[in-house]
Amino acid sequence: MSSDAMTIRAAGAAGRPWVEAVQDWITTVDHKRLGILYILYALLFLLIGGLEAIVIRIQLMRPHNDFVSPQVFNRMFTMHGTTMIFFVIMPVMFGFANYLVPLMIGARDMAFPRLNAFSFWLTAFGGLLLYFSFLGGSGLYGAGNAPDVGWWAYAPLTSRAFSPGHSADYWTIAVLVSGFGSIGTATNIIATILSMRCPGMTLSRMPLMAWMTLVMSGLVLISISPLSAAQIMLLVDRYLGGHFFDTQAGGSATLWMHFFWIFGHPEVYILVIPAFAFASEIIPVFSRKPIFGYPVMVAATVSIGFISMSVWAHHMFTIGMSAASNTFFVLTTMAIAVPTGIKIFNWLGTMWGGKIQFKTPMLFSIAFLFQFLIAGLTGVMLGTAPFNWQLSGSYFVVAHFHYVIVGAILFCIFGAIYYWYPKITGRMLNERLGKLHFWLFVVGFHLTFDPMHIPGVLGMPRRIYTYEPGRGWDSWNVIVSVGAFIQGIATLLFLANLVLSYFKGRKAGSDPWDAWTLEWSVSSPPPVYNFAVIPAVRSRRPLWDQKHPEDPDSRYE
């Protein structure tokens, strides 16, 4: 017994003490480690945000439920939305961009490694600050804790008259700080992609993932800035006597709406374009064919980026804009459906004539295609302004954007984790647990978000902590809640898989999927310096060329 302890201590002394390891991670400027930190951080917040969703669903399971008070409920949906958007999906996307982009373009790190670390820690502290509000939100006033203004934080609800105490400040500053982090990372990604590509990697040979990450980062720069500006103006209103949004002193409530949605709509694409990126890497590999219509995919992505900056007021069709403005925003919103549709067809074209392997990453990508199709179509419905006057602010919208954020984006994130986990850890995720996770999640997802459209059509508004019986909403809400619980269980299964496979998973080798992009040419996990020799590429699929010298891509491009 005691000799056992001795050996362990001896081993510990011989190995590195854990403090040193922790210090290594905290002070790291390595893009791969920062990528992992981003992803782990996001997974932690996914758990928290998921828990908040469960609280919401328990409360709404039956009419006039009193599981939580209205105050707590309002905090829950505010925190759920803010967390999922700013502290789950964005960090995950930055994490993957960080980890993969340098590897994919044959670089040894990001352009600005220290800015990279700084940005991550800004985002990380932003999240902590947001959650600190549960403790410190009352401030000296003793009023409320945790923000309860909704994740759009519409004025004038955020003014001091309606949000005394500090909870609205925590929301503002937390999101502001993490926004600065996002701007830092986006700048870094753009610089990296534009200036660190290996020899032969022209822009037109970059993996689609790199292209899409580039567009996403451009959107971050353009759209986070107005949000940050508006948040600073809000703080000026609250503490320095400004009246930008203070309607009681002549400020404008709609001004905030414009600022917010000029950020908010591109934000949707900031989140979904990386999801497209994952799908565009995964679908070709598991169809055993190159992406169909690469140039069109790039063009569609760039045009989505541009158009997405001119559609924001489709979130404001109900604020009483003139018929002309409404018409304009209907037009731009419809226009964005075209490049989006092109993408769906190009993915289908990629699979057409291939040999589709139904591995877990591919399963998630296929489900993504199906769900994104539906999300896009309900989006078209919401884009026709008059229909929107009925649907907006109802549970139909909630169903629609969860179809986007869960059905499309989260599914792609799961797919990406199954796909790149072997590269990151050197071990495969358990395929059977993965399939179980997939099917359970699909069932949970559809049980939750398919029926959720219906109460919206039957007049149920969003953000209500309870509702009246007898309006035709009751049964649907029960089903929705049950679905949410199933999704929760599936997510726990997934987390278990992540942990178990880390210790017990099959060794991956450098290229488990027989893939074609540069990250698969180095060992798993890749060495700190990524490439011993900077590679030179001659086509979009350098590893294909290597594996098929008789028929290289470079011959056709």
Partner 1 sequence: MRLKLRGMKWGSVRRRAVAILLLVFGLLLAADLSTASIPDDNPIPSIFEPHSTPADSIFHLSRFVLAITGMIFLVVFVLLVYVLVKYRARTTDSPHEPPQVYGSTQIELAWTVIPILIVVVLFLATTRVIRAIQDAPEPANVVEVTAIGHQFWWEFRYPALGVVTANELHIPVSDPANPTPTYLKLLSADTDHSFWVPQLAGKTDLIPGRVNTMWMDPHRTGVFLGQCAQYCGTQHAKMLLEVFVDSREDFQAWVNAQKQPAKQEEDVGAGRHVFETTACVNCHAVAGTLATGRFGPDLTHMMSRRTIASGAAENTPENLGMWIQDPEMIKPGSLMPAMKLSDSDQDALVRYLETLR
Residues 241-280 that bind Cu ion (CB under 5 A): 265
For residue 228, the minimal CB distance to partner 1 (Å) is: 23
Instruction: CB nearer to partner 1: give 99 or 260.
Output: 260
Q: How far apart are CA 212 and CA 208, in angstroms?
A: 6
Pick the closest to residue 517 from 90, 110, 99, 33 (CA basis).
Answer: 99
Which one of Cu ion, partner 1, none interacts with residue 242, CB within 5 to 8 A by kind? none
Query: Which residues fall within 8 angstroms of residue 513, CB to CB, at 6 or more apart?
Result: 285, 286, 359, 361, 419, 422, 520
For residue 1, the minimal CB distance to partner 1 (Å) is: 54
Which one of partner 1, Cu ion, none interacts with residue 369, CB within 5 to 8 A by kind? partner 1
- Residue identified by tokens 């140039």 is 295
Which amino acid does the sequence have at 195? S
CA distances from 247 to 38, 233, 262 (A): 39, 14, 20
Which one of Cu ion, partner 1, none interacts with residue 65, CB within 5 to 8 A by kind? none
Which one of partner 1, Cu ion, none interacts with residue 203, CB within 5 to 8 A by kind? none
Instruction: CB nearer to partner 1: give 1 or 323.
Output: 323
For residue 455, the minimal CB distance to Cu ion (Å) is: 19
Q: How far apart are CA 138 and CA 144, in angstroms?
A: 6
Which one of Cu ion, partner 1, none interacts with residue 474, CB within 5 to 8 A by kind? partner 1
Instruction: CB nearer to partner 1: give 357 or 523.
Output: 357
Contact in structure between 234 and 158 (CB atoms under 8 Å): yes
For residue 370, the minimal CB distance to partner 1 (Å) is: 6
Instruction: CB nearer to Cu ion: give 33 or 265.
Output: 265
Q: Which residue is nearest to Cu ion (CB)?
A: 265
Instruction: CB nearer to partner 1: give 315 or 437.
Output: 315
For residue 382, the minimal CB distance to Cu ion (Å) is: 8
Assess 400 for contact with Cu ion (CB under 5 A). Answer: no
Instruction: CB nearer to partner 1: give 161 or 496.
Output: 161
CA distances from 293 to 297, 304, 313, 344, 557 (A): 6, 16, 32, 12, 12
Q: How far apart are CA 173 and CA 8, in angstroms?
A: 46
Site string for Cu ion, 326-365 (x = CB under 5 A): ----------------------------------------
Contact in structure between 221 and 130 (CB atoms under 8 Å): no
Instruction: CB nearer to Cu ion: give 187 or 466.
Output: 466
For residue 91, the minimal CB distance to partner 1 (Å) is: 26
Contact in structure between 425 and 505 (CB atoms under 8 Å): yes
Can you read off the two tokens belonging to residue 214? 């580039």
For residue 348, the minimal CB distance to partner 1 (Å) is: 6
Which one of Cu ion, partner 1, none interacts with residue 467, CB within 5 to 8 A by kind? partner 1
Which one of partner 1, Cu ion, none interacts with residue 265, CB within 5 to 8 A by kind? Cu ion
Residue 269, classified by CB atoms within 10 Å of its CB into exposed (0-12), middle (13-18) or buried (19+), is buried
CA distances from 200 to 101, 166, 205 (A): 16, 54, 8
Binding site residues, Cu ion, CB under 5 A: 265
